[in-house]
């Protein structure tokens, strides 16, 4: 069996990848991966700090800024906080919203209804409809980033896994998605045992932890590599 090579980012400073939107990151291989992401990709970010989350998710969106509808679903931070932070990172929020090419909804508008229900089909159809509508308007589709904290805060982990699996490792619509999970929040909620099943529901995995950053194929990701990068111990299910 071919050995999976793991690359850790330890290079200080920032690197600019010129294709698409400009990507400025501490993690060169993550930047290269974000630029290479194509429509249909369903990927996941596991992070241990707000700085890393914003850096990866904002750059994921910036790559699609020239030719895609951008969506950022908030649940760890408030939409107004994210809009302000996006602007500070060079995303032209006002212009994109004026052109109806940027949505920054709260999780209640997308994932969990006010009555606490999670309608998986409705969520998937909502993203698909946005993607096909964007395509009809001359764009490549949607490029989406989503904070997944709400599912742990609201005790909807079973529904979360059902949702991620329903999307598949590749979307059936013209969209590139990056689901973001706070590993410290998962640990505090006693949900680390769901980490590997959640990773397997995606095509590729970005991990950011104390040792830097790693990009892996989800179907080849080994638990020991995830534990080492994130400095955690995943319990048996």
Q: Could you report the per-residue pLDDT of 106-141, keeping only the tens digit for each? A: 999 999 999 999 999 999 999 999 999 999 999 999
**Does residue 94 contact residue 126 with C-beta atoms inside 8 Å?**
no
Q: Domain for residue 4, yes or no?
A: no
More confident residue, 20 or 185: 185
With respect to residue 7, please indicate whether it lies within any of the assigned structural domains. Answer: no
The domain containing residue 131 runs over which residues? 15-229
Least confident interval from 13-27, 73-87, 185-199, 208-222: 13-27
Q: Is residue 10 part of a domain?
A: no
pLDDT surpassing 70 at residue 83: yes
Q: Which residue has the higher pLDDT, 18 or 180?
A: 180
Confidence class of residue 237 from pLDDT cuts 50, 70 and 90? low
What pLDDT was estimated at residue 165? 98
Q: Tell me if 52 sits within 8 A of 226, measured CB to CB.
A: no
Q: Give the Cα separation of 84 and 11 in Å (integer).
A: 28
CATH of the domain at 126: 3.40.50.11570
Structure confidence at residue 22 as a pLDDT band (50, 70, 90):
low
Is residue 2 in a domain? no
pLDDT at 1 over 50: no
Residue 192 has pLDDT above 90, yes or no: yes
Please give the tally of structural domains in the chain. Answer: 1
Split at pLDDT 50, 70, 90, the class of 13 is: very low
Whether the predicted pLDDT of 5 surpasses 60: no
Does residue 5 form part of some domain?
Answer: no
Q: Is residue 217 in some structural domain?
A: yes
- Average pLDDT (210-216) is 93
| pLDDT score, position 231 | 95
Q: What is the mean pLDDT of residues 146-150?
A: 98
Q: What is the pTM of this model?
A: 0.90
* Average pLDDT, rounded, for the chain: 91
| Cβ atoms of residues 135 and 93 within 8 Å | no
Looking at residue 11, what is its pLDDT? Answer: 30
Pairing relation of β-strands 204-209 and 175-182?
Answer: unpaired
- Nearby residues of 124 by Cβ (< 8 Å), 6 or more positions away: 163, 166, 167
Residue 20 CB neighbours (<10 A):
17
Q: What confidence tier does 2 reach under pLDDT thresholds 50, 70, 90?
A: very low
How many whole angstroms separate alpha carbon 8 and alpha carbon 140?
A: 31
Of 13-22, 47-56, 64-73, 194-203, least confident by mean pLDDT is 13-22
Max CA-CA distance within the chain?
Answer: 51
């Amino acid at each position: 069996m071919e050995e999976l090579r793991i690359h850790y980012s330890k290079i200080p400073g920032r690197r600019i990848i010129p294709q698409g939107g400009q990507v400025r990151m501490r993690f060169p291989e993550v930047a290269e991966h974000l630029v290479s992401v194509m429509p249909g990709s369903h990927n996941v970010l596991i992070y241990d700090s707000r700085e890393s989350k914003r850096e990866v998710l904002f750059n994921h969106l910036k790559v699609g800024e020239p030719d895609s509808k951008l969506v950022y679903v908030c649940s760890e931070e408030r939409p107004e906080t994210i809009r302000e932070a996006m602007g500070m990172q060079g995303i032209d929020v006002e212009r994109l919203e004026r052109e109806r090419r940027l949505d920054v909804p709260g999780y209640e508008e997308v994932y969990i209804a006010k009555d606490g229900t999670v309608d998986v089909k409705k969520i998937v159809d909502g993203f698909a409809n946005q993607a096909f509508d964007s395509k009809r308007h001359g764009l490549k589709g949607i490029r989406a980033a989503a904070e997944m904290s709400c599912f742990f805060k609201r005790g909807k982990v079973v529904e979360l896994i059902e949702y991620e699996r329903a999307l598949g490792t590749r979307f059936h619509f013209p969209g590139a998605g990056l689901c973001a999970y706070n590993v410290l929040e998962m640990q505090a909620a006693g949900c680390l045992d769901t980490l590997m099943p959640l990773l397997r529901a995606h095509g590729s995995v970005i991990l950011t932890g104390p040792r830097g950053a790693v990009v892996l194929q989800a179907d080849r990701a080994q638990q020991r590599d995830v534990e080492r990068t994130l400095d955690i111990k995943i319990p048996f299910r």
